[in-house]
Amino acid sequence: MRTIGSFREFWYRSYFGWFGGFLLEEPPWLVLDGLMPAQFALVTGASRGIGRGIAVELARAGCRVAINYAGNAEAAAESLRLVQAAGGDGFTVQGDVAVAADRARLVAETAAKFGRIDLLVNNAGVGPHVRADLLEAGEESFDRLYAINLKGPYFLTQLVARQMLKQEPDAEGFRGRIVSISSISAYTASVNRGDYCVVKAGLSMMTKLFADRLAPDGINVYEIRPGVIATDMTGGVKEKYDKLILEQGITPIRRWGQPEDVGRAVRAIAEDRFPFSTGAVFDVDGGFHLHRL
């Protein structure tokens, strides 16, 4: 059984004394073991990589997850199997976050199946097909990255926030939480993928905007900035990063990040470990962000 924390704990103990402590234990006939504040999550791009790691980590806490994917149905089905094996459940749902009609369907389907959305994770994202110098890179790549990595999450967040506003707040006054997966590229210049850097920086501002707008409504908004994580996205530059990380120590913690590292951070947010934080940035990067001499 899990002990309930914070305001409720204070209230129970003040009114019921030692008996309040007993009441703080969730009675098994009321609450399924393992369930947590965020019980129903929508994770975009959960068929592979970091999104899959997030879905599995949420499942370890008993969460039910809508596993979104763009085109890889088989990988999404594998994510669902892993989620179920980890103690959670959910369903897979195709949808391109860059397409307005798909975003609307994603939210409608998740709300219909779960009854509510406690947590949105804006994780789906792509890198440029070709890493091109700032003076050569074309508009097509910029438009693609802008649509998937920034415009998609921006308007998906708007839709999910509207859904959350319709939901009853929980005992601590929370209606939901929103997390966006940005990158160290939000503040690190890589002149061979300026498009990626610019849209990730935009995602950081998006987090601040929605955090400010939604705080009075009981919705906290967070940004997670992963460093170099071992996924398909970084598969093509493995040798380069092996050298930088393992030989040159570009990160104080000398190893590749794993999807699970990001998943654990999202799980902590889902479990409401940061009730007095919104608009906060969590660096999950092996210490990459430190300025060192």
Residues that bind ligand NAP (CB under 6 A): 44-45, 47-51, 68-72, 75, 96-98, 123-126, 148, 181, 183, 226, 228-229, 231-234
- Nearer CB in complex with ligand NAP: 63/70: 70
d(CA 204, CA 208): 7
What is the closest distance, in whole angstroms, from the C-beta atom of residue 111 to ligand NAP in the complex? 18
- Nearer CB in complex with ligand NAP: 180/220: 180
12 is catalytic: no
What is the closest distance, in whole angstroms, from the C-beta atom of residue 231 to ligand NAP in the complex? 3
- Nearer CB in complex with ligand NAP: 106/175: 106
Nearest residue to 180 via CA among 197, 202, 163: 202
- Nearer CB in complex with ligand NAP: 53/176: 53
What are the DSSP calls for 230-292, one per residue?
A: -SHHHHTTHHHHHIIIIIS-SSSS-S-B-HHHHHHHHHHHHTTS-TT--SEEEEESTTTT---
One of 69, 146, 154, 196 is an active-site residue; which one?
196
d(CA 114, CA 136): 46
What does the radius of gyration of the chain's CA atoms come to, in whole angstroms? 20
What is the closest distance, in whole angstroms, from the C-beta atom of residue 137 to ligand NAP in the complex? 17
Beta carbons within 8 Å of 111's beta carbon, 6+ residues apart: 117, 163
What is the closest distance, in whole angstroms, from the C-beta atom of residue 28 to ligand NAP in the complex? 36
User: Could you list the active site residues?
Assistant: 196
